[in-house]
Amino acid sequence: MKNLAGEETADIDIRKELQHAGITVHEVPKGRTEVPYTLIGKLPCKKSGEFKFTRAWYYWVVSGPVPLNVAKELYSTAIGKRDVRVVGHCGCPPPEEWVENGFINSYHIDSQEGLDFFVKTLRKHNII
């Protein structure tokens, strides 16, 4: 993914990446972050809450409840192990090391392929 730190036109890339993955785009006030964005992604969680997608330098920060069995499935693939990082950990540990009450609540996703795969897997398991 492109590094969007300081990129004043970041919303163009953000919109493309979110739409490619099938994530609903929402406008927000411009914050004081390294990426000057006014767009985030959201998907409703069928169990409770929502999944929120915010863009950082070269990756997506995702918050939302991923059940451990789904987290394990994500991790069992090469793209999931490498680009869909549990709690943003650079060492790419297995989800069992970071599970809280049966869920992984945070990911960093480093590629469009990883973002697409994450959303596709959540849909497959009827989470979103």
Instruction: Please report whether residue 42 resides in a domain.
Output: yes
Instruction: Please report whether residue 4 resides in a domain.
Output: no
Domain count, the chain: 1
Residue 32's pLDDT band (boundaries 50, 70, 90)?
confident
In single-letter form, the type of residue at position 30 comes to: K
Which structural domain range is residue 89 located in? 10-124
Q: Where are the beta strands (DSSP E) in the chain?
A: 24-27, 39-44, 50-55, 60-67, 84-86, 103-109
Instruction: Please report whether residue 3 resides in a domain.
Output: no
Residue-level pLDDT at 47: 81
pLDDT, mean over the chain:
95
- pTM of this prediction? 0.95
Residue 6's pLDDT band (boundaries 50, 70, 90)?
very high
Instruction: Please report whether residue 5 resides in a domain.
Output: no
- DSSP-derived 3-state class of residue 36: coil
62-82 b/e (C-beta count within 10 Å ≥ 16 → b)? bebbbbbebbbbbbeeebbee
Residue 37 predicted with pLDDT over 90 = yes
Residue 99's pLDDT band (boundaries 50, 70, 90)?
very high
In single-letter form, the type of residue at position 32 comes to: R
